Chain A
Amino acid sequence: MTYTAWIIVTASLVGMSCGLIGVFLVLRKTAMMADAISHTVLLGIVLAFLVTKEVSGPAMLVGGIFAGLLTAFLVQWLHSLDVQHDASMGIIFTTLFAIGVILISTSIGNAHLDIQHALMGEITFIPFDKVSLPLVGEVPRATLLLFIVFLIVLFFITAFYKEWKITSFDSALAVSIGIPAIAMHYLFMSLVSITTVASFDAVGAIMVVAMLITPASSAYLWTDRLVVMLILSSIFGILSAISGYYIAYWIDTSISGSMAFSTGLIFMFSFIFSPKHGIISKYVQPIKNL
């Protein structure tokens, strides 16, 4: 496969995993949790680096999941102590992020890790770092990782589809029929963390946030059915990956920045033209009802 194809495939994998996870983030009204976790994951990666002295690989995934769960747990804990939910999110993620940045600048020095890289990502270099697999041939390391993560996300969402649906729409009902809502919450937060960590190195924190929240919100404007929303959201993720790449190619700029931006274009389109919840339909419908 060519260089361009690998980049698009990688970004589309990010788009699909994030699109699926994002639907539940948006429905559970915890979208900003994506922002929080995408920042604290940095601390997890730094800690994993300090322990193992290498940046990529399973250690990083474990570190990231640890940091994500720690964030989710601490936010929940502060909230249970009467701190407003969004305030506790703001306290926890900025503090953990600050500790991560301090660790980078004091004890790591000039290692491969730097904050700017982490925030913006370097998708440009992905196709150069390849591993060879039986049957498939040479595959970029990051793409392989993202593919595995996509399978994990897909598995958990289809396996517990009914449970996700009930906990997201009616958590009281879910508890009353014996679904372990708290366990589901932490499982969900682990999925968010895995997706974020795996995408982190490839596309950077900001694009992860864009991909998690925006395609799902756009899909939410088009449909009322969960299955359709999941499919639409992944498609929007892929579309923004592709269009973002070509925008970046056209004006020669940051690829992950453009991909984040093009998720916004898709949202704006949905926001204006969606048949049920769009701006235009708001003005048109009253006339139809006369």
Chain B
Amino acid sequence: MWSLLFNTNTGWVIMSTTILGIASGAIGCLAYWKRQNLMSDALSHAALPGVVITFLIVQEKNLLLLIIGAGISAFLGAMLIQWISNASRISEDAAMGMVLAIFYGLGIMLLTVANRSAGGNQSGLDSFIFGQAAAMVKSDVRIMSILAIVVIFIIVIGFKEWKLYLFDRHFANGLGLPIGFMNGLYTLVLVMTIVIGIQAVGVILMAAMLIIPAVSSRYWTKSFRNMLIISSSFGAISGAVGTFISSKGSGWPTGPFIVVIAAGIFILSLTLGKEKGLLIKFLNKQQQKKQQTLRTEIREVK
């Protein structure tokens, strides 16, 4: 078992999706409390033109450069969303939808050009976009893991500051925290997680990696620190199990399996969760009813 984990490519891939799960579970909590859940969806689509343009420039599939390209274009998308929703009457979700579709359209245009002009070199670009973790090699895994660890590190080291930033902006401002800088850092970390995740789970399902573990963890705790830990663990479990299952069949995509596992965890949390889970709510209601009837009975006896 262990030799399979560490000596084969599958082992490497499972490791990287697990680390990715930890990073996206953590940053997902930040996005959840900033109420920007669908931002990740918009940004992962917005990364596409950057990927293709980088590829057209360097003419090879160098993961680090592709990630940088993707990051720049996703960051531009984020700026554009903010600019449009701040400067006009267009609401934020419409701005996100537009950036998503238009950047993606531009990406597809460029991709068609790249497919035509670049000969056989671009094979693998498609798997970058639709997520095929099995196509990753050891060096890809290393780059992804390093970036993911940086993301986790940034969140852990500034934990107190992030907490203030998310829950009491005015107080944070009063303390002299650099809100503008933290805004930028948050967007940067979000973009970084998204672009390293695209390789593994694909553009469309990256949003799930950020949203689902964070929402699931809410059913287990009320403290932000525990939420971060639980959400990261859920992300890690879905990453590992999903990748493992998808490696069992030939041509099975990794991303969807990870998402389905995450969704399973969500359903479990929703029904059995200790805080506000459906079962707990139901039992509480039953108990209240029982006490109510008991009280009325006592009153009648009196």
A interface vs B, CB < 8 Å? 25-26, 29-32, 34-35, 39, 81-84, 86-87, 89-91, 94-95, 97-99, 101-102, 105-106, 115-116, 119-120, 206-207, 209-210, 212-214, 216-217, 220-221, 248, 251-254, 256-261, 263-264, 267, 271, 277-279, 282
Contacts and interface: CB of A to CB of B under 8 A. Distances in A.
A259 B108 CA distance: 11
A90 B211 contact: yes
B256 A99 contact: yes
A29 B284 CA distance: 35
A37 to B, nearest CB: 12
A254 B259 contact: no
A256 B108 contact: yes
B257 A102 contact: yes
A87 B130 contact: no
27 contacts: A25-B94, A32-B41, A32-B96, A39-B204, A81-B278, A89-B37, A90-B41, A90-B208, A90-B211, A91-B212, A94-B204, A94-B212, A97-B259, A98-B256, A101-B253, A101-B255, A102-B256, A206-B101, A206-B104, A206-B105, A209-B100, A210-B102, A214-B98, A220-B90, A260-B101, A261-B105, A279-B87
Contacts of B88: 221, 271, 277-279
The dominant DSSP class at the A interface is: helix
Interface string B146-187: 000000000000000000000000000000000000000000
Contacts of B56: none
A116 B126 contact: yes
The dominant DSSP class at the B interface is: helix
B263 A251 contact: no
Q: Interface residue tally of chain B, by bracket?
A: 35 or more
Given A32-B96, A90-B208, 20 more contacts: A29-B93, A35-B100, A83-B215, A86-B37, A87-B214, A90-B40, A91-B208, A91-B266, A94-B207, A97-B205, A97-B259, A102-B260, A105-B252, A217-B95, A220-B89, A251-B113, A254-B111, A257-B106, A263-B98, A271-B88
Most-contacted residue by chain A among B45, B91, B98, B276 (CB, 10 A): B98
Contacts of A32: 38, 41, 93, 96-97
Contacts of A95: 208, 212, 259-260, 263
A98 B98 contact: no
A81 B89 CA distance: 30
Nearest to B116: A252
B112 interface: yes
B212 A106 contact: no
Interface string B241-282: 000000001011101110110010010001000001010000
